[in-house]
Structure 1
């Protein structure tokens, strides 16, 4: 008796087989569906947040502020993309970008459904700064209803884990590179701890290449690289300088590798160095600047006025494609503790501003309003000064005592922090009791200053300064 056996296979893993023995046909259908990988969903809590409606109407719609706000909103979540590179291949990864405006229930639905509801996330990890931490907590609670482990990390979680623990299953403090793979392994074993804390020993020599492909098909207008983590100074208002451990620099070969990966995505990229104070270390910055120049990068960073004391370095910075440097001038009425060697009188810093711009680099003068000693009169004087100031760009923020800073501890101990949640810690909203005014008076004076400094005529004057600096830079380049 002849026997005929045949099989067919479907794309979904199903199979159909039959045996023919004489006049008898035996049909067997089997369905084999591959077990999906566990999925990790990374959630970046982004978007510019301002709680004060009057300021939104009077200031942030002005061209000068809107331009910088737009640039900040375009920055990719470097921390999460870096962590993603350390996730084992046994996991699927998805990235969700929160804009701070979409209803929280819709963000939760997006997290849970992702690209396919057939494979919901096993772990949802949030990265949030202080003003977005409460929103992240509410979204976490929505997601937790679906048997998902939620995690939060970043500066806010590091500074105030007690605020995060009631709303997240796991709190990660410090460098995520040191702990995240262990966390995922513990989740798979069913034994995740409530908290993981890095000891600050992670070496930037071990930094992986960020997973830029998670951003999707559209390249971001601006890319970010961290050349240095932390800062040797400990300014009392700064939440980032030493929160994650001691100041560390990224070796030149790792910096070059990351820059090459970005250049492979986009030629002549726009780069923002995600540093607290790029030139504060004693490293030789020449190789890093040479890499930026060789890749045709245009870039922005933050530093302090002391680079003006190093003409050769300043020229290297300009030649390498630096378009703008944010220089912390800080307060016009108060010198913050912990500023170390960057502490200087007002006139000395302004001389440095002129020197930096004469080298062909626009200075974005960063000023804090509302420190102790601030009054209506001092804010008016600051406005008068900024009408004629030499800086090509200005950044104005209110003093904000972020958790983890000595400023926060001082105001907390003196019972000067105002009631309310952390969503108000935006850099544009008064969250403490000033010493010379009421909180309402300070907010009103700051709003009026914003409107004055960023009105179209004032911004046009700074734009003309920038145009002159760019023209000077082109002329200098043509002479080479």
Structure 2
């Protein structure tokens, strides 16, 4: 069978969007689906990632698998409707179809809810028999293997790194805005350590990137993983919570294992806002002490901040920009609080009748879709844009990153890319975000 796996992208992150060159990692969803299909039988499988290339209008396929997050759902649905009109079988999966399967099935022959592992075989058998079920519920053992990644399908040179992999899925935290907890209910799914080590050895690069949403979500697993990484002598990048510095054993092992960069969700410089978002782990972290420990250990920090909490006032933007420069965060990133479906935040704002925009294309964390409590929608939107631009002036970039460290070339490249992103942000109006006229 001819099978195509696609990942349509929202306007800002499409290959025609706000970056001159993609500075994100090679995604694993499509290559994992391809790997699972390869274990069943030989198929003609191709993938198209719309962040780096155009999806052909004349797609040659018998079956199309499509993955969607909330911000890409309308575009995915438009493609799905087109392919079904052409007689193709369409299977939808990913975060958004898992959260809202009854919505997604209106545009598909079947929806995979949860993980694709464990259901791909049954799905393909049902397709052959002409007996496709509407929903397939994929599950994982909490200490089991993940699907194989068909890395041969990744286009080299199109991403900031192709050496991305997963050690775990899920998170044990309960942040009110995060869709991960809505998906996994605090479950953390962990791969066998020898399997992770084997994959790293097969990748064969000096640097690797763990895409886990929280690499230290399960402390004992993280300790075992870091110990296993030490003899490999790799440099790795990943995501953790800020309180990793408060756990001496865990932090020492993280450093010894070769960590060179972390994405950390600071979320806010205001303690009251952290409480409103249930980001309780950050309340006991001294950000200045944390950054000193990270930089002393040679670790670069991609710090994320979220505006729009009910505790935020119009002064939050300038306060955050000032703090970011003082902390010397290597690569800051700003977003606006977004009520993703099935999250506690969505339930709260829905109950308070504060959500005014329900077009999923606007749910990309850079557009305001609800009425803030202590400022206007315009103040939140304008403050977000101002924070981006003020942070990414050349002077601010210089003050944050110019220090002796191995990652200076990477820091310069990513900061200049985000400077371009900040300059383009205002161009992505609602009209541009929801436009799907290019899908025939």
Is the structural similarity TM-score above 0.5?
yes
Name the residue aligned to 1:34.
none
CA, structure 1 residues 459+425, in 2 after alignment: closer, same or farther (shift >3 Å)?
same
Name the residue aligned to 1:86.
36
Say which SS state the counterpart of residue 286 (structure 2) adopts.
helix
Shift of 1:228: 1.3
- Cα pair 2:89 2:109 within 8 Å, conserved: yes
Superposed counterparts of 1:62-461, under 5 Å: 70-72=22-24, 75-87=25-37, 88-99=40-51, 102=54, 107-109=56-58, 112-113=59-60, 121-198=61-138, 200-203=139-142, 205-215=144-154, 221-244=161-184, 246-263=187-204, 267-268=205-206, 270-333=207-270, 334-336=273-275, 339=278, 342-345=281-284, 348-461=286-399
Shift of 1:406: 1.0
Residues 237-285 of structure 1: per-residue CA shift (max 9 Å, x gap): 111135145212111011112212211xxx32x3221111101212253
Greater mean deviation of Cα atoms: 189-198 or 218-227? 218-227
For 2:75 and 2:337, how far apart are their aligned partners in 1? 22
Shift of 1:464: 1.1
Shift of 1:174: 0.7
For 1:330 and 1:319, how far apart are their aligned partners in 2? 27
Residues 69-93 of structure 1: per-residue CA shift (max 9 Å, x gap): 8321xx2231222222222114332
Report how many aligned residue pairs link the two structures: 401
Shift of 1:229: 0.8
CA, structure 1 residues 219+366, in 2 after alignment: closer, same or farther (shift >3 Å)?
closer
For 2:128 and 2:184, how far apart are their aligned partners in 1? 27
Q: So what's the TM-score if we normalise by structure 2?
A: 0.83
Say which SS state the counterpart of residue 307 (structure 1) adopts.
helix
For 2:210 and 2:343, how far apart are their aligned partners in 1? 23
For 1:416 and 1:160, how far apart are their aligned partners in 2? 21
Residues 206-228 of structure 1: per-residue CA shift (max 9 Å, x gap): 32431111225768533211111
The gaps in structure 2 that reach 5 residues or longer are 409-440
Residues 344-398 of structure 1: per-residue CA shift (max 9 Å, x gap): 15x6243223222222212222211111122222222222322322423312111
- Cα pair 2:142 2:188 within 8 Å, conserved: no
Say which SS state the counterpart of residue 209 (structure 2) adopts.
strand
Name the residue aligned to 1:45.
8
For 1:261 and 1:309, how far apart are their aligned partners in 2? 34
Residues 36-72 of structure 1: per-residue CA shift (max 9 Å, x gap): xx22211123477279xxxx9xxx67xxxx7xx8321
- Cα pair 1:235 1:337 within 8 Å, conserved: no
For 2:317 and 2:276, how far apart are their aligned partners in 1? 21
For 1:284 and 1:447, how far apart are their aligned partners in 2? 39
The gaps in structure 1 that reach 5 residues or longer are 1-37, 114-120, 472-480
CA RMSD of aligned residues (A): 2.8
- Cα pair 1:49 1:100 within 8 Å, conserved: no
For 1:447 and 1:217, how far apart are their aligned partners in 2? 33
Say which SS state the counterpart of residue 220 (structure 2) adopts.
coil
For 1:260 and 1:45, how far apart are their aligned partners in 2? 31
CA, structure 1 residues 101+260, in 2 after alignment: closer, same or farther (shift >3 Å)?
closer
CA, structure 1 residues 285+462, in 2 after alignment: closer, same or farther (shift >3 Å)?
same
